Structure 1
Amino acid sequence: MTLEWEQVIVHSVDPVALGQWWTEALGWVVVHASDDEFEIRPAPDRLPGSDFVRVDENKTAKSRPHLDFRPDDQAAEVARPVAHGAQHVYIGQGEQSWVVLADTEVNEFCVGGRRRL
């Protein structure tokens, strides 16, 4: 069997606001939007993407899965989401080469060191 990774589902109390935040933070494009679902991708025909889906409850614990990003310029790619409201967070990582941030609904993600070739 062959599988293609389509998207990461992110539960959200406000999928439009959180999806728009990630659109701006990543520089991606919106491919679907409604009050209950907001889907973004790197380009309209490029996978995987992210789909933000409405849930009624707020996040209450550390996220089990989270996204890791490997940038060309770590400082710039940490500064960009922070400028849009991301927070630096400590999840027990200690001193590491990556930076842990959380989006506006406190979903953790990491920005690693320079992209490997």
Structure 2
Amino acid sequence: MALRFSEVCIDAADPPALAHWWSTALGWPTEPTEDGDIILKPPGGAGPLWAFLAVPDDKVVKNRIHFDFVPDDQQAEVDRLLALGARRADVGQGQESWVVLADPEGNEFCILAAE
């Protein structure tokens, strides 16, 4: 049996708004599905689709899985994402080389040090 990684599913109170935020942050196009979800497509098929799904529940605890991004310039990218509406998040990381941010619905992600 073989498995293929197809999608990352992201629960959201407002899927269109959260998908739009991530589309702006990543520069990936969005596409609505027949059942009302929103899909983000990575350029050139480089990775799984991101599916934003409507859920009635609020996010109340730290994510069990999160995204790590490697920028060309960490501080410039942190500043850009904060200007788009991300916020700094404290998940108990202390002083590390990465910066933890949260999207508008509170989903944590990391901006790593530039390589």
Q: 2 CA distance for matches of 1:33 and 1:75?
A: 35
Judge conservation of contact 1:10–1:53 (CA < 8 Å) in 2. Answer: yes
Secondary structure of residue in 1 paired with 2:43: coil
Secondary structure of residue in 2 paired with 1:114: coil
TM-score by length of 2: 0.89
Quote the RMSD (CA, aligned, Å). 1.8
1:73 and 2:73 aligned:
yes
After the TM superposition, list the runs of 4 or more consecutive aligned residues in structure 1 that deviate by more than 4 angstroms. none
Q: For this pair of structures, how many residues does the alignment match?
A: 115
Specify the alignment match of 2:64 in structure 1.
Answer: 64
TM-score by length of 1: 0.88
Greater Cα shift, 30-39 or 65-74: 30-39
Q: Which runs of 5+ in 1 are unaligned?
A: none
Task: Report the AA paired with residue 14 of structure 1.
Answer: D
Q: 2 CA distance for matches of 1:24 and 1:112?
A: 19
Specify the alignment match of 2:12 in structure 1.
Answer: 12
Specify the alignment match of 1:42 in structure 2.
Answer: 42
Specify the alignment match of 2:109 in structure 1.
Answer: 109
Cα 1:34–1:17 shift into 2, 3 Å = farther
Q: 1 CA distance for matches of 2:104 and 2:79?
A: 15
Measured against aligned partners, the alpha-carbon deviations of 1:24-73 in whole angstroms (never above 9, x if no partner) come to 01111113356831110222644322110000111111111111111111
Task: Report the AA paired with residue 63 of structure 2.
Answer: S
Q: 1 CA distance for matches of 2:91 and 2:60?
A: 14
Q: 2 CA distance for matches of 1:89 and 1:63?
A: 11
Cα 1:25–1:34 shift into 2, 3 Å = farther
Q: Which runs of 5+ in 2 are unaligned?
A: none
Specify the alignment match of 2:52 in structure 1.
Answer: 52
Q: 2 CA distance for matches of 1:84 and 1:94?
A: 24
